Amino acid sequence: MKILPSLAPLFFVASLHAQTILSTDFSSATSGTYANGSAIGVGATTSMTAVNLAANMAVNVVSNSGAQTLQLTDNNSSSGGVGAYKAFQSDGFVASQGSIAGSVTFTPLSLSSGSRGYFVMMLNSGNGTVSPGSSVTAIQLYVDNSLKVRYYNGTSDTNGYVGQPTLSANTTYRFEYNMNFTNTAAETWGFSLYQVGVETALYSVSGLSTRANINPNGTAGTDYWTMVLSGGAYNAGASPDPYVQISAVSLAAVPEPSTPLLLGLGLIGGMLTYRARRKKV
C-alpha cells in the first residue's frame, strides 16, 4: 500500500495566501533543443526562458520514464552560459509577503568523457540577469565540478567548510531554499538539501546573509527579479554529455513564517516531486 502525503499542511500553506511565481515539472514543454531566449513550456507560472550563450552548449527537454526533464550540456571550456531562468516583477504584493521560497529537484549525471560544469541556482535583481554579481545576486547556491555543495554567506564562498556535502552522480536531490526580506537592510536566507525519497535532510542551514541586498519594493512593470538555473562560464570543465537533469522547479512569494513551513516540512518541492514520481508508475 502506498502512503500518500498528508494534505492538511498544504491547506494550511494555502490559507497563508502564497503567490505562485513558478511551478513546473516541464510537462508543458515540447521535447527538443531550445535556443537562447526561447520559452520552455507554456503558461505564466509553468514556463521558463532558455539561456544558451555560446557554442557547444545545449538546453534540452527530454522524455525520461514518462516524465519531461530539462538537461544542460556544457562542452565549452572558456565562455558563455547555459541554463534557464524565470523573471518576475518585484512589485508590492511580493514585498508584502515578506519571504520568497523555492525548490529545485535535480540529478547530477555521470559523464562518459570530459569534466563537469557547475550547476548554479541564483536569485538576482533585474529582468533576465543570468550572471552572478556582488551587486545583483541575493542567493547563490551551487554544485561544483567535484559534486560538492557550495553557497555564499554574504560575500564569502563556503568552499572547504566542515560538513560540506558531496553528492553522487545519477542520484536525485532537492534543494529547498528561503529568503527573508522583512528587514531589507539585513536580508537573510537558508536552504535544506534532501535526497529524493528520504525524509530527513542531508544538510540544512539558516540565517545566512544574502550576497547582495535587493529591493523587494519595485515598480510594477519596471523592476524585476530573476531566478536562474545555470551552468557554464564558472569553471574550465567541458564535456559533450549532459551533466545535470532538472525534473521540477518551484518558486513562491510567501508570508512569514515560511522557514519552518517550507524548509522544515519540505512542502514546496514535495508535491512536484510526488507528481513527477507518479508519472513513472
Residue 35: which of 19, 53, 22, 23 has the closest Cα? 53
Higher pLDDT, 188 or 213: 188
Query: What is the sign of the dihedral through the CA atoms of 253, 130, 156 and 142?
Result: positive
Chain segment 125-156, per-residue pLDDT in tens: 888 888 888 888 999 999 998 999 999 999 99
Residue 56 DSSP class? T
* Mean pLDDT computed over 18-46: 95
Q: Does residue 63 have a pLDDT over 80? A: yes
Element (H, E) at 198: none
Q: Does residue 14 have a pLDDT over 60? A: no
Structural domains of the chain, ranges and CATH numbers in brackets: 17-29+48-155+164-279 (2.60.120)
Spatial separation of the C-alpha atoms in residues 232 and 251, rounded to whole Å:
23
Q: Write down the mean pLDDT value for the chain.
A: 82
Spatial separation of the C-alpha atoms in residues 41 and 255, rounded to whole Å:
28
Q: Judging by DSSP bridges, how do beta strands 137-143 and 82-89 pair with one another?
A: unpaired
| CB-based contacts of 257, cutoff 8 Å, min separation 6 | none
Higher pLDDT, 37 or 78: 37
pTM: 0.84
Element (H, E) at 22: strand 19-24
Q: In degrees, to the nearest 5, what angle opens at C-alpha 116 toward C-alphas 161 and 148? A: 15
